[in-house]
Amino acid sequence: MLVNNFLLLGALLFCIGVYGVIVRKNAVLVLMSIELILNSVNINLLAFDRLWADSGNNDGNVFALYIIAVAAAEVGVGLAMVLLIFRNRKTISLDDLSEMKG
């Protein structure tokens, strides 16, 4: 298979994620968009891992695993924060998070 199949899929997911991050106002949805990006990275890593499989390393796999772990932690933290702001503001619209500016 062409490695580019996966890579382009990854790129596509990445860009969709970016779009989501920019467009979405709801904090939870932004977090979801981030997951898209992280998944695209993992697809990349695993594709590259196959690319270099002959050299006998599978660092890509390890990397991907670690990313999943970190992503989990990040989501946990992110949702905790979302809850926090919701508690304080009764909304999770990022638009309202602009008390400080300039």
Partner 1 sequence: MLLASDIQVAQNIGFGIIALVMVIGALRVVTSSNVVHAALWLIAVMAGAAAQYLLLSAEFVAVTQVLVYIGAVMVLFLFGVMLTRAKLGKDVDLDNAGAWKIGAPVALLLLGVMGYVLVKGFDDTKIAVSGEGSTVGQNSLLSDKIFSTYALPFWALSFVLLAAVIGAIVLARKD
Partner 2 sequence: MLFASETEHEAVAQASGWFLDHAWLIPLIPAIAFFLIIMFGKKLPRGGSEIGIASMLASLVISAGTAYQWIDLVGKTEHAEAVTHSTTWFEIGSLKVGIGSRIDGLAMMMLILVAFISTLVQIYSTEYVRGDRRYTHFFGSLTLFSAGMLTMVLAPNMVQLILGWEIMGLCSFLLIGHWWEERANSEAALKAFWTVRVGDMGLLVGTGILLALFGTLDIGEINAKAAEFTGDHKLLALGAVALFIACIGKSGQFPLHTWLPDAMAGPTPVSSLLHSSTMVVAGVFLVARLYPVFHTGLDINLAGHHFNLIAVIGGITVLIAAGLAFVQNDIKKVLAYSTVSQLGYMMMGLGVGAWMPAVFHIFTHAFFKCCLFLCAGSVAHTGSHHSFDMKKDMGGLRKKMPITFLTWMISTAALCGVPFFSGFFSKDEIIDSAKGNDYKVFFVVGLIGAFMTTAYMTRATYLTFFGKARGGAAHFVNEHEDHSHEPAHDEGHDSDDHHAPVVHGKPLVFAPDDSPWQITVPLIILGALALVAGYLNAAAKPFETDYFHRWLHSSIGVEIPEAPHFEWMNAVPSIALVAAGFIVSLLICKAVFGEGNSPLKGLTQRNAILGGVHKFLVNKYYLDALYEKVIVRGIAHPISAAAYWTNQHILDGIVNAVGKGGKRTGEMVYKYIDQGLVDGVVNGSGTTATHAGGALQPVQSGKVNLYGALLFGAAAVGALVLVLVNS
Partner 3 sequence: MIAFSSPIVDYHALAPELVLAAGLCLVLLVDLFVPDHRRWITGTISGFVLLGALLPIVTLAVWGDDVRDAIGGPGISGRYVVDNFALVLKALFLLAGYVVVLLSTHEMDEKSGYQGEYYVLLLSSVLGMVMMASSRDLISVFVALEFLSIPAYMMAAWKKRDRKSNEAGVKYYLLGVFASAVMLYGMSLLYGIAGSTQLTEIGKAVTLDGDKVGIQVLGVVFVIVGFAFKVSAVPFHTWAPDTYEGAPTPVTAFLSVASKAAGFVGLMIMVYLAFPLARDVYRPFMWVLAALTMTIGNLVALKQKNLVRMLAYSSVSQGGFILMALAMAYTNGSEESSLRAVIVYLIIYAATNLGAFAVIIAVARRTRSAEIASYGGLFTYAPGLTVMMTIFLASLAGIPPLGGWYAKFGAFRAAVDAGGGWGYSIAIIGAANAVVATAYYITVMREMWMKPVPENADTSSVKVPASLQAALAICGVATLAFGVVPGIIAKVGAITDLTGAFGG
The C-alpha angle with vertex 12 and arms to 30 and 36, in degrees rounded to 5, equals 30
In angstroms, give the least distance from the CB of 85 to partner 1.
Answer: 9
- Is there binding between residue 41 and partner 1 (CB under 8 A)? no
When binding is defined by CB under 8 A, the residue of 55, 88, 95, 98 that contacts partner 1 is 95
Residues in the chain: 102
Q: Are 36 and 13 in contact (CB under 8 A)?
A: yes
Which SS3 state, helix, strand or coil, does residue 48 take?
A: helix
When binding is defined by CB under 8 A, the residue of 7, 9, 11, 24 that contacts partner 2 is 24
In angstroms, give the least distance from the CB of 26 to partner 2.
Answer: 11
- Is there binding between residue 22 and partner 2 (CB under 8 A)? yes
Query: Which is nearest to 41 in space by CA: 71, 19, 20?
Result: 71
Task: Give contact residues for partner 2 (rule: CB under 8 A).
Answer: 18, 21-25, 30, 94-95, 97-102
